[in-house]
Chain A
Amino acid sequence: MAWTWFHRLASPPHVYRTAGRLAPWFAWPAAILIIAGLVGGLWLAPPDYQQGDAYRIMYVHAPSAWLSLMVYTIMAVAGGIGLIWRMKVAHAVAAAAAPIGASFTFATLVTGSLWGKPMWGTYWQWDPRLTSELLLFFLYLGYMGLRAAFEDLQRADRVSAVLAVVGVVNVPIIHYSVVWWNSLHQGPSVMYLGKPTMPPSMLVPLLIMFLGFTLFFGAVLLMRLRGEVLNRERTARWVAEEIGA
């Protein structure tokens, strides 16, 4: 069968070992890129002609927002794979991803409101992006709450996977309904991301940060994945070899 390589690749001991081996390859480039992005964004990039230095919040806000959405999608896809092919490792990926995504959603909300204060004059505006981000945060909380409500890890995996799939189908509907709602009330929307006229000295640090944050997510996901795989393989012999050695 052509699928055997796939199953061997996704077997828990293989994933446990590979994740441990791969994690530094994500962590170090992430650290270097994030430091480079910090220097570029805070120091080298010129102040914006409209927003002054306040726009520099974008260098942490936008990549966090990107992670918050990407991680939710990964969680749902992993959950769906776990449901369809009954793959423990896929569920472990979803379980490992959720708290990371939730924490970056939180960071997006906080940095967004810190950006809002000098721009709008208030910490909170019912801006469509911030509002959808808040709802995404609730979706993460619901997902993690549902997971925590089950004693049995396998059942928690499968039930929360159904929720993640339902959630990911709804995220675009929620987002567009919020955008539509906002357009009715003519809310101010000052934040801009990826303005096409952004000069390279501003854009390059942003792209570096996007890449750095994504790699950082990869590194933390791999670390968490090892723990989650271990928790799902209570009695297997490879655990004894791996831990006892």
Chain B
Amino acid sequence: MSDTNVLRATLPGVGVGRGSAPSALAVARLMLERDLRLAFRKSSQLVQPLAFFAMVTTLFPLAITPELSRLRHIASGVLWAGALLASLLALEFLFRDDAQDGTLEQYALSGRALTGLLSAKTAAHWLLTGLPLALMAPLAGVALGVPTGALPGILASVTLGTVTMSLLGAVGAALTLGVRRAGALLSLLTLPLAIPVLIFGAHATQLAIRGEPYGASLTLLAALAVFGMTLAPLAAAAAVRINLE
């Protein structure tokens, strides 16, 4: 099958009616749309990480203290540990379905740069899990006694942090593609690499809660995200190719 035919079969709407091959950007956009559409058909996978995040946040007041004044001190840690764990939870689904039904193999054979396709998949994953987590983090913050002035800071830092988490997660998911029960291994691979995100993210959140400027930590988080965007898809593509061989 030619390059465009493969894509036409897996990505409905690619190059239909046009003789030429679609541009890389168009393919990435279609991939994004496809992944979003598929995910909304199975919405339980979308809700579960959010419910998990809410549950983890609930554990701390119950385990430590219901006093908001004391919870406020540990809020940044609770939010970030919860967000990291919740974004890990969703990773197993990232490539699994596509690997099982052979779609991923078709992408690899399509002659298109796999890095671009995987970047699009990662972006879809972030939109489906990272962004909802980031939107929910301020709510969890309120429940932990965080002043409302800190909420924009929490939203911004978790938004940037989950981008890096999705990218690292894509690498981890690609590495463990051929492993049957990858859950625990995936966390062991991904969490040590996520430590810088945790450190800068939790620090930004803590500064926001104290009402101090947190711009510097946000910049560092953004730098990590950009660094991840340039390198993570390359590593993920290499790992996917090896696992498909």
A and B found bound together: yes
Chain A residues with CB under 8 Å of chain B are 83, 135, 138-139, 141-142, 145-146, 149-150, 155, 158-159, 162-163, 165-167, 169-170, 173-174, 177-178, 180-181, 184
| B137, CB-defined interface residue at 8 Å | no
CB of A153 to closest CB in B, whole Å: 13
Across the interface, A155 reaches (CB within 8 A) one of B188, B192, B245, namely B245
A170: B residues at CB distance < 8 A: 193, 196
Chain B residues with CB under 8 Å of chain A are 171, 175-176, 178-179, 182, 185, 188-189, 191-193, 195-196, 199-200, 203, 224, 227, 231, 235, 238-239, 242-243, 245
Structural contact, A155 and B239, CB atoms closer than 8 A: no
B179: A residues at CB distance < 8 A: 146, 149-150
Structural contact, B203 and A149, CB atoms closer than 8 A: no
| Given A83-B238, A145-B185, 5 additional A-B pairs, CB 8 A | A138-B192, A149-B179, A155-B178, A162-B239, A184-B203
How many residue pairs at the A-B interface have CB separations less than 8 Å? 71
CB of B27 to closest CB in A, whole Å: 24
Compute how far the CA of A180 lies from the CA of B189 in the bound complex, rounded to whole angstroms. Answer: 23
Closest to B192 in A: A138
Compute how far the CA of A158 lies from the CA of B175 in the bound complex, rounded to whole angstroms. Answer: 10
CB of B233 to closest CB in A, whole Å: 12
Structural contact, A162 and B176, CB atoms closer than 8 A: no
Compute how far the CA of A158 lies from the CA of B177 in the bound complex, rounded to whole angstroms. Answer: 13
Compute how far the CA of A150 lies from the CA of B180 in the bound complex, rounded to whole angstroms. Answer: 9
Structural contact, B191 and A138, CB atoms closer than 8 A: yes
Structural contact, A155 and B199, CB atoms closer than 8 A: no
Structural contact, B235 and A141, CB atoms closer than 8 A: no
A150: B residues at CB distance < 8 A: 178-179
A184: B residues at CB distance < 8 A: 203
Compute how far the CA of A138 lies from the CA of B242 in the bound complex, rounded to whole angstroms. Answer: 24
CB of A36 to closest CB in B, whole Å: 37
Compute how far the CA of A167 lies from the CA of B188 in the bound complex, rounded to whole angstroms. Answer: 12
28 A-B residue pairs with CB within 8 Å = A83-B238, A135-B195, A139-B192, A141-B188, A142-B188, A142-B189, A146-B176, A146-B179, A146-B185, A149-B176, A149-B179, A155-B178, A155-B243, A155-B245, A159-B178, A162-B171, A162-B235, A163-B175, A165-B235, A166-B193, A166-B231, A173-B224, A174-B192, A174-B196, A177-B195, A180-B199, A181-B203, A184-B203
* Secondary structure class of chain B's binding surface, majority of residues: helix
Compute how far the CA of A229 lies from the CA of B196 in the bound complex, rounded to whole angstroms. Answer: 37
Compute how far the CA of A180 lies from the CA of B217 in the bound complex, rounded to whole angstroms. Answer: 11
B200: A residues at CB distance < 8 A: 177
Closest to B182 in A: A149
Compute how far the CA of A162 lies from the CA of B242 in the bound complex, rounded to whole angstroms. Answer: 9
Closest to A182 in B: B199
Structural contact, B243 and A138, CB atoms closer than 8 A: no
Provided the pairs A149-B179, A163-B175 are in contact, do residues A177 and B188 lie with their beta carbons within 8 angstroms? no
Across the interface, A162 reaches (CB within 8 A) one of B175, B182, B245, namely B175
Structural contact, B196 and A163, CB atoms closer than 8 A: no
Structural contact, B176 and A166, CB atoms closer than 8 A: no
CB of B98 to closest CB in A, whole Å: 18
Structural contact, B199 and A181, CB atoms closer than 8 A: yes
Structural contact, A162 and B188, CB atoms closer than 8 A: no
Please give me the 8 A-B residue pairs with the lowest Cβ-Cβ distance, nearest first.
A177-B196, A142-B189, A149-B179, A138-B192, A158-B242, A142-B188, A181-B199, A177-B199
Compute how far the CA of A150 lies from the CA of B182 in the bound complex, rounded to whole angstroms. Answer: 11
Compute how far the CA of A180 lies from the CA of B202 in the bound complex, rounded to whole angstroms. Answer: 13
Compute how far the CA of A177 lies from the CA of B192 in the bound complex, rounded to whole angstroms. Answer: 12
B239: A residues at CB distance < 8 A: 159, 162
Closest to B235 in A: A166
B195: A residues at CB distance < 8 A: 135, 174, 177-178
Closest to B243 in A: A159
Provided the pairs A145-B185, A146-B176, A150-B179 are in contact, do residues A167 and B193 lie with their beta carbons within 8 angstroms? yes
Structural contact, A146 and B175, CB atoms closer than 8 A: yes
CB of A237 to closest CB in B, whole Å: 26
CB of A225 to closest CB in B, whole Å: 22
CB of B78 to closest CB in A, whole Å: 17
Structural contact, B199 and A178, CB atoms closer than 8 A: yes
Structural contact, B199 and A169, CB atoms closer than 8 A: no
Compute how far the CA of A174 lies from the CA of B193 in the bound complex, rounded to whole angstroms. Answer: 7
